[in-house]
Amino acid sequence: MLISINQATCTNTTNKNPFSRPRMNENGVATVTPRNTGVKGVMAGGLTGATEIIITYPTDFIKTQLQLDETLRVSGIRQKQYSGMWDCVRKTISKNGVLGLYRGLNIILCASIPKNALRFGAFEAFKNQAANERGDLSMKARILCGFGAGVCEAILVVTPMETIKVKYIHDTWCLNPRFKGIYHAVICILKNEGLR
């Protein structure tokens, strides 16, 4: 289907966008005011993190189950439970329902929201410091801001939360689980192993 636009009805010249936005005409790009970019970055990051985890968590859960299944088999703790990915999905759903694919989600959700909020917020903070007086950033500065935000995210949120996640999921499959819930797991891990 071909759509044509009558040039006589457009007020702009042929080289300009007939659907221009005033803010883009003023600044060249759609920008937000500098006074609240950090808050918007944190909010956008938090919502992005929650959405991402809700969509992708079942895949991560199955991957972790298969890794633990192989580890427990090799160490002689128990026999192999799953023949593959789809077998793990089928057995998880038959044993715990569809929500069984979301076991342990709360810890990841509690980690993903601050993880992405920290990444987006740190990027905005670094960007505000690195931008010139017009608010422009070079490509090198953007890369460095992104790198700094990623390092903050990895050190402060990702490493501790991945450790807790794996230990919690592993514990749920033990014959005598020691954790009563995710918050109890965090307390026990901190008490017995500290922050290392």
Longest dimension (CA), the chain: 79
Instruction: Quote the pLDDT of residue 110.
Output: 78
The CB density around residue 64, as the number of other CB atoms within 10 Å, is 17
pTM (predicted TM-score) = 0.55
**Per-residue pLDDT, 35:** 58
| Structural domain boundaries, residue 74 | 37-154
**pLDDT tens digit at each of 196 positions of the chain:** 444 444 444 444 455 656 555 554 555 444 545 555 667 777 887 888 888 888 999 998 999 888 888 877 777 777 888 889 999 999 999 998 998 898 878 877 877 788 888 888 899 889 888 888 887 888 999 999 999 999 999 998 888 888 887 888 788 777 788 888 778 888 888 888 877 6
Residue from 35, 64, 56, 52 nearest 116 by CA:
52
User: CA 129, CA 37: separation in Å to the nearest integer?
Assistant: 12
What is the pLDDT, as a whole number, of residue 144?
94
Q: What is the CATH number of the domain that holds 79?
A: 1.50.40.10
- Asked whether residue 53 is domain-assigned, the answer is yes
- Determine the pLDDT at residue 89: 93
CA gap 171, 64 in Å, rounded: 12
Q: Is residue 181 in some structural domain?
A: no
Residue 176 lies in a domain: no
**pLDDT reported for residue 151:** 95
Q: Total domain count for the chain?
A: 1
Residue 25 included in any domain: no
